[in-house]
Structure 1
Amino acid sequence: MSDSSKRVFKIFGLPVIAVYIIWFSYMFISENWHVFTEYFYMTITMMFGSFVAGASSEGGGAVAFPVMTLLFDIHPKEARDFSLAIQSIGMTAASLWIIARKVKVNKEYLKFGLVGGTLGIILGTYFVAPYTAPAYAKMLFVSFWLSFGITLYIVNRNTKRFVREELPDLSTYQQFELLFIALVGGVLSAILGNGVDICTFAFITMKYNLSEKIATPTSVMLMAANAVVGFLLHQFVLQDIQPVVYNYWMVSIPVVMLGAPFGAYMISNAQRMHIVNFLCGIIVIQFIGAMLIIRPTGPLLYFSLASFLLGVVLFFLLTRSARAEQAVLEE
């Protein structure tokens, strides 16, 4: 066995095997196999969701939350708690694979994202999530990120777009700016089950033109840590996770342990534009599904439109800043 293979087995293989042994032992002792019959649809959902978790900045919750709330009519709180629980397993596995394979990430982005995201999910859990109406949470999620998907696609149609492999030296103000964006993303994670990954990813790629190929695995590691914090908070501090969420969790663990790392493997070997197109496609599908199922009218429709327009303005300002920097570099 080569040194590289030994590293992968030690950092990634052993923890994955350990989780499978613990999961199988629990299922065998508790004779809980019947949950697969009742909740098989979650296993199927997370086959795709775990791949997305490892392969994009959206996270597994980006699939789990809308599918559970929109298609299966599961309460947003249960969907949120499940998203955090399953991402704490799947995206952690993907993160271990990224570390084991030495996939390039941006440490500065990760550092400030971890601090801001942790603070955000704690504050959001206590002071924001309990007061957020479910339907508005759903439409905020899909409407705001639709604006990002459209902006990302348009920006990347410019074949001369400047893309950097490293972040520039950030000033103190820029560091606090990134910290604040991560904090906002952490609040969204507290409401929706994910958010710090796509929030910071959008900011970093739009404002600083960091390559999506580097920003994606960094955001995967960031969301893994955010999910662990959120899950532990609900599990041991608030102790408010509903029993059915554990059933969703049990039927999904065996697929996400390999699905998320497989997504990370595929995206590490993909071209940058493949990552962009994949992410944009996910965002558009989410939005269309929400519109067809929720069919927002009245105040909810106006709120959705406002969320979309707010995103357009914010992302336009970020890309404008990036274009100004590119013009300076070309002079």
Structure 2
Amino acid sequence: MNIQKPLKTYLWVWGLWLLGFYAVWLWLVLGMGYWSEAKAHWPIALAMALGSYVAGSTPMGGGTVGFPVLVLWFDMPATLGRDFSFAVQSIGMTSASIFILARRVPLAWSILKGSALGILIGTPIGIFFIAPFISDLWIKVVFAVVWASFGILHLYRINEIAGHTGMTEFNEGWDFRLGIILGVLAGATIVSVTGVGIDMVVYAALVLLCRADLKIAIPTSVVIMAIASVYGVAIKSVTTGMQPGVFENWLAAAPVVALGAPLGVFIVGLIGRKPTLLFVAVLCVGQFIWTCVNEYEYLQLTGLALALLGVGIMLWLFEKLRRWGAVLAGDVVLPDHVDSLGYSKVDPH
């Protein structure tokens, strides 16, 4: 009987990363005298204890908690929430990614490489030419709409999503091109506006179109968000600069997320991903309701209707993606006159 040996892991690499990070953090708070700032912002550190677990165990980055805590709870500007999402995930998601790679967790490499390239193109376009024209109110609404749609998707499709095993194998070149498209579109829109989102876009493509196992889809989403976050911080640091208050909140939260996100990766392997996904799905829907109630004075009926329409459009796109995946996998046989997206090939004229 041929018994496959477990892959060799390199957790010492992750250990070196942690030593290096905490050495720099201690130098900042003790050597540079920033301890009082870090201590004063302890509430965000407490909130990111949950946020970092979410970041490592689900396709929703740490900004899923960090953004609404700063913006909805502490009533900070949405631009601060966006830049903080970039900053805190550049540590938490990077730490989780190194942990994932050190453990040699399987990833969807073709889509990951393509989306990383797409992010390099799309993110600066969004930061310079789209995000500056989005008001604080609509940054909140965009965040609320995207996260609510993912929450609702998981509430009614969780059994199907959690039931996937392996991954539908398409052509590697096709996967790579798909990743580029996802990276450019998400980087220019969701990521540049809210500081998060490419992880959930790639995850949606993997579980709905490629029918990927959550053990593949979620780690892949974590790694791509780490890349996007570090890139976002780099762009903003050398151009427009980060929003005031980001550094102080980052000082408080960074030492928590450096361990919390990898811990989420580890713990979810023991308890399963379904309970965590359901819990986060409820949070996602809850923050949408909170945003609509708190901002109703400015949204009014028109804005509320647009927000609900946005959720509906997102869910419609998810279902289109799911149907396309079923067709490509051969589970749905379409008539000869209908293409893989469900549209008629016959010219109506």
Contact 1:70 1:294 in 2 (8 A): no
What is residue 184 of structure 2 aligned with on the other side? 183
Q: Which has the larger radius of gyration?
A: 2
Paired position in structure 2 for 1:328: 331
> Does the 8 Å CA contact 1:89/1:253 hold for their aligned counterparts?
yes
Structure 2 letter corresponding to 1:56: T
Q: Does structure 2 conserve the Cα–Cα contact (< 8 Å) formed by 1:151 and 1:316?
A: no
1:77 match: 79
Secondary structure in 2 matching 1:68: helix
- Report the equivalent of 2:51: 49
Instruction: Please show how residues 251-266 of structure 1 align to structure 2 within 5 Å.
Output: 251-266=252-267
1: CA distance, partners of 2:218 / 2:325: 19
- Match for 1:224 among 195, 201, 226? 226
1:125 counterpart residue number: 127
The Cα shift of 1:126 comes to 0.8
TM-score with structure 2 setting the length? 0.85
The size of the alignment, in residue pairs, is: 325
Identity of aligned residues (%): 29
- 1:64-86 Cα distance to aligned partner (Å, 9 max, x none): 11221111111111111111111
Residues 135-214 of structure 1 aligned to structure 2 (within 5 Å)? 135-158=137-160, 163-170=164-171, 175-187=176-188, 188-214=190-216
The answer (yes or no) to whether the contact 2:113–2:179 under 8 Å persists in 1 is no
Instruction: Report the CA distance shift for 1:103/1:278 in structure 2 as closer, same or farther (over 3 A).
Output: farther
Distance 1:61 1:272, change over 3 A: closer
318-327 or 298-307: bigger deviation: 318-327
- Report the Cα offset of residue 255 of structure 1: 0.7
The reply to whether residue 299 of structure 1 matches residue 302 of structure 2 is: yes
Aligned-residue Cα RMSD (Å) equals 2.5
Q: Note the alpha carbon deviations across 1:242-267, whole angstroms, 9 max, x for none.
A: 34211111111111111111111122
Q: Deviations over 1:54-102 (max 9, x none)?
A: 1111101111112211111111111111111111111101111111111
Gaps of 5+ in 2: 1-5, 334-349
2:339 match: none
Tell me which residue corresponds to 2:312: 309
Structure 1 residue 195: Cα displacement: 0.8
Q: Letter of the aligned partner of 2:147 in structure 1?
A: W
User: Retained in 1: the 8 A contact 2:110–2:172?
Assistant: no
In 2, Cα distance between the equivalents of 1:55 and 1:129?
Answer: 28
More helix by share: 1
Secondary structure of 2:246's match? helix
For residue 93 of structure 1, what is the aligned residue in structure 2?
Answer: 95
User: 1:143–1:304: 8 Å Cα contact kept in structure 2?
Assistant: yes
Provide the residue aligned with 1:104 in structure 2. 106
Greater relative CO (CA pairs within 8 A, separation 6+)? 1
Q: Is the 8 A contact 1:103 1:268 kept in 2?
A: no
Structure 1 unpaired stretches of 5+: none
Q: Is the 8 A contact 2:186 2:201 kept in 1?
A: yes
One-letter code aligned to 1:323? A
Query: Equivalent of 1:24, from 23, 26, 29?
Result: 26
Please report how far the alpha carbon of residue 42 of structure 1 lies from its aligned counterpart in structure 2 after TM superposition.
1.2
Residue type of the partner of 1:316? E
In structure 2, what residue type is equivalent to 1:182? G
Q: Which runs of 4+ in 1 moved over 6 A?
A: 3-6
Question: Who is 1:280 aligned against?
Answer: 281
